Amino acid sequence: MTTVSIIGGSGYGGGELLRLLLSHPAVEVKQVTSRAHLGEYVYQVHPNLRKRTQLKFSDPVALEPVDVLFLAQPHGQAQHHIDGYAKLAEKIIDLSADFRLKDAADYQRWYGEPHAAPEWLNKFVYGLPELHRAVIASANYVSGVGCNATASNLALLPLVKADLIDLASPIIIEVKVGSSEGGAEGNAGSHHPERASVIRTFSAFGHRHTAEVIQEMGVSNVSLTMTSVDLVRGVLATAHATVKPGVTTKDLWKAYRAAAKENPFVRIVKERRGIYRVPEPKILAGSNYADLGFDLDESNGHVVSMCAIDNLMKGAAGSAVQCMNLMLGLDETTGLEFMGLHPI
């Protein structure tokens, strides 16, 4: 058994990671840390784990060496401790934003302060298997992904990979998100009477995840608009772009089918009947799927590409476990078989 530990296990990403790893057939969870909940049973914070583990939250200073170390702390922390962590484990997967960007100047621009360990930026691989499967398989350091960036990147992936869009035209991505994206710590706006039933645009443009779309998709004229809606888990990214002259719906089908064929967690949802004709995040809760759909207005080349994911799974813990599987030489889908629920 591969031994793993999680630093920062009381947050939503850490909890989801723990759920996945506890039922993963090839790993054994050694420690889960939380300063705020030190000594409590993990099921007191993550009630779904009751009767499944007697693990208690331990102190991060008491970490023992393991094969794979997961970092699931708030942004801005891992970069200060990465040298120490690297002594504890040969392989590290960091779910935070600390090692996603390649360029320290980009980090400073989007995160507002200098990076504390810029020499580590190029040691990390951006952990989206659909983009970097082979490199991840041989990497020791893998970064997690931004959930909104992942939905946006996967919405664009078939179009960019098949070189179908006009990169000179602006790409507008409207991202609708659930409340778990904000993390386990509440704030005035997450108080239920204020947060229920919202359609609340919290960023018209300039969201930090934009940097990951620019970096990974090689696009520059791109904008993300972020809107919260009433849902706990889930992201739907709707990308508006312009296809190159002559590109047809048939070309798009070919590109999307290729993406679904190459990637076990990518599905195409484009039906003419039934209730679920397009990608929808609600049925993805707990699953690692990224559902893609598209529609092309052939009269003007306007393509609408959609990607739905569970932000805590494909947008965080699920992709992280998928990366771990690749790094360990396991089947990519191991431990990620849950199909999601209908109805929900």
Q: Which residues in the 14-43 window bind a second copy by CB under 8 A?
A: 15-16, 19, 22-23, 40
CB nearer to a second copy: give 91 or 178.
178
Question: Per CB under 8 A, does 314 bind a second copy?
Answer: no
What x-and-dash track marks residues 318-337 binding a second copy by CB under 8 A? -------------------x
Laid out side by side, the sheet with 141-143 consists of 57-58, 27-33, 2-7, 66-71, 89-94, 141-143, 125-126
- Minimum distance between the CB of residue 196 and a second copy, rounded to whole angstroms? 5
Question: Per CB under 8 A, does 280 bind a second copy?
Answer: yes
Among 9, 12, 13, 92, binds a second copy (CB under 8 A): 12
Instruction: Identify any residues that bridge with 297 across adjacent strands, giving them in sequence order.
Output: 302
307 is catalytic: no
- Minimum distance between the CB of residue 141 and a second copy, rounded to whole angstroms? 29
Laid out side by side, the sheet with 171-177 consists of 199-203, 222-229, 171-177, 235-242, 302-309, 290-297, 266-268
Among 210, 233, 243, 327, binds a second copy (CB under 8 A): 233
Among the listed residues 147, 151, 171, 292, the single catalytic one is: 147
Residue 273: half-sphere exposure toward Cβ, Cα within 13 Å: 0
Question: Per CB under 8 A, does 306 bind a second copy?
Answer: yes
Q: Which 190-229 positions form the footprint of a second copy (CB under 8 A)?
A: 190-202, 204-206, 221, 223, 225, 227, 229
Among 129, 286, 315, 318, binds a second copy (CB under 8 A): 286
Pairing mode of beta strands 266-268, 290-297: parallel
Residue 155: half-sphere exposure toward Cβ, Cα within 13 Å: 34
Among 65, 114, 186, 218, binds a second copy (CB under 8 A): 186
Question: Per CB under 8 A, does 283 bind a second copy?
Answer: yes
Binding piece for a second copy, criterion CB under 8 A, among 63-71, 248-256, 283-291, 322-330: 283-291
Q: Are 157 and 259 in contact (CB under 8 A)?
A: yes
Q: Which 49-108 positions form the footprint of a second copy (CB under 8 A)?
A: 49-52
Give the 3-state secondary structure of residue 151: helix
Among 33, 34, 46, 318, binds a second copy (CB under 8 A): 46
CB nearer to a second copy: give 134 or 199.
199
Task: Report which of 170, 144, 172, 150 is spatially closest to residue 234, judged by C-alpha positions.
Answer: 150
Task: Report which of 186, 209, 170, 210 is spatially closest to residue 302, judged by C-alpha positions.
Answer: 170
Task: Report which of 131, 158, 308 is spatially closest to residue 243, judged by C-alpha positions.
Answer: 158
Q: Are 136 and 196 in contact (CB under 8 A)?
A: no
Q: Which amino acid is at 237?
A: A
Q: Which 104-143 positions form the footprint of a second copy (CB under 8 A)?
A: none
Task: Report DSSP state, residue 74.
Answer: P
Q: Which 141-170 positions form the footprint of a second copy (CB under 8 A)?
A: 170
Question: Per CB under 8 A, does 278 bind a second copy?
Answer: yes
Task: Report which of 81, 82, 122 is spatially closest to residue 100, judged by C-alpha positions.
Answer: 122
- Minimum distance between the CB of residue 220 and a second copy, rounded to whole angstroms? 10
What positions carry a catalytic annotation?
Answer: 147
